[in-house]
Amino acid sequence: MNTHATAPAPLARRLEGRVAVVTGAAHGIGRGIAERLAAEGAHVVIADIDEAGAGKVAADLGNGATAARVDIADPASVAALANAIEARHGRCEILVNNAAILDVAGIATMTFTHYRSILDINQDGAIRMTLALLPLIRKAGPGRRILNIASIQGLRGTRDSLAYATAKGALVNFTRALACDLADEGIVVNALAPGYIDTRMAQLPDGAGHEHDAAWFRDIYIEHGRIPLRRPGKPVDIAGPAFFLCSDDARYVTGQILPVDGGLSATF
């Protein structure tokens, strides 16, 4: 058996010339997805509330990548982004709804105002973006895709994640229902449900490092195999499945929620 590592195969640039919009792409999972789509030939719009961070990513990617500031909780900001994309490209083949914020509030400290503020971004933001970009997706040619980034927390209950888990659960069924609505138009809609991924969201709120470095996490999830692959994921681990669902290989896949979690959901 050959035990030597082999170089990855060169990318086939299977998204050549397609316009892809990725929200929350200045960092983390969104950046990982944007990098892969750009490497496959897409012209990626790096859409993020962090305008400077988005600009840096766009400069790093090249291939016609552009940066755009968007606040997905603000209807006017979302509409302005849609208008800018229409003016520059006239269409959009791929929309990746990735932008979200972490929240660790449980029912003991929850207020309705706080609850709605989380849903306004993590749930309604994806819906705003979809409604705003759908006319441009309808103008596009083959390969029209909407990909929502949900979470394994949208597939199960968990402590101290009331608003976050509710929003991600809504995004799961939004994906399924939207896929049914758009199937006759040939627009494919799917979602990824990441598990524990090494991003800024994994930073512990007390500044004591990353969640997956904590003793309790390593004991339960790594040492005792609650994550069968025994490691947290990286943004690149999400980028590959995201590319698949945005590619022509996924033309007969719609309304599906794919966990990308190192096997964690298999142990539920």
Give the Å distances, CA to CA, from 38 to 17, 130, 192, 242: 10, 21, 19, 12
Would you name the residues annotated as active-site residues? 164
pLDDT in tens, 220-268: 888 888 999 999 999 999 999 999 999 999 999 999 999 999 999 999 8
The amino acid sitting at 148 is N
Q: Indicate the domain borders of the chain.
A: 19-200+236-267
pLDDT band for position 2 (50/70/90)?
very low
Q: Within 10 A of 68 (CB to CB), how many other CB atoms are there?
A: 21
Q: What is the pLDDT of residue 189?
A: 98
pLDDT in tens, 173-228: 999 999 999 999 999 999 999 999 988 766 666 666 777 777 777 888 888 889 99
- Asked if 67 contacts 30 with a C-beta cutoff of 8 angstroms, the reply is no
Give the Å distances, CA to CA, from 47 to 28, 78, 85, 114, 142: 13, 10, 11, 25, 23
Q: Is the pLDDT of residue 8 over 60?
A: no
Within the chain, residue ranges assigned H as helices are: 28-39, 51-61, 75-88, 112-122, 124-139, 162-182, 215-217, 235-246
The amino acid sitting at 29 is I
Q: Is the pLDDT of residue 10 over 60?
A: no
**Distance from chain centroid for Cα 235:** 10
Domain spanning 19-200+236-267, CATH architecture? 3-Layer(aba) Sandwich (3.40)
